Amino acid sequence: MIVSVQANLRTDPVSRSPDQLLGLAVQATERLASLHPLMKRWYALPSSAKGKSIPLEDTGAILARMERDIEKDRGRFGDFNELGASLLLANVDNGRDWRMPGLVVLGLDPTMGSHKFRLVGIEPFGEAVPDLMLNAMIGLVEEVKPLYACTDVKAQTREKGLVTYQLDRRLYQHRRYFGWMGFVPAQITHAQIPDAHAVHAVDGQGTVIVSVPGMFDPTDDAQVDKVHRVEMDLASYDLLPVTDPSLKG
pLDDT tens by residue, 159-178: 889 999 999 999 999 999 99
116: containing domain: 1-146
Q: What are phi and psi of 117, to 5 degrees?
A: -135, 120
Is the domain of 25 the same as that of 135? Answer: yes
Q: In b/e form, how buried is each residue of 210-244, taking b as 16+ CB within 10 angstroms?
A: bbbeebbbbbeeebbebbbbbbebbbeeebbeeee
74 vs 93 pLDDT, higher one = 93
Q: Into how many domains does the chain fold?
A: 2
Evaluate if residue 76 carries a pLDDT over 90: no
Is the domain of 142 the same as that of 169? Answer: no
Least confident residue range of 80-94, 155-169, 194-208, 214-228: 80-94
Is the domain of 142 the same as that of 201? Answer: no
Q: What is the pLDDT of residues 140-163, one digit of tens each?
A: 999 999 999 999 999 999 888 999
In a domain, 151, yes or no: no
d(CA 82, CA 71): 12
d(CA 31, CA 136): 8
Is the domain of 126 the same as that of 237? Answer: no
Is the domain of 49 the same as that of 127? Answer: yes
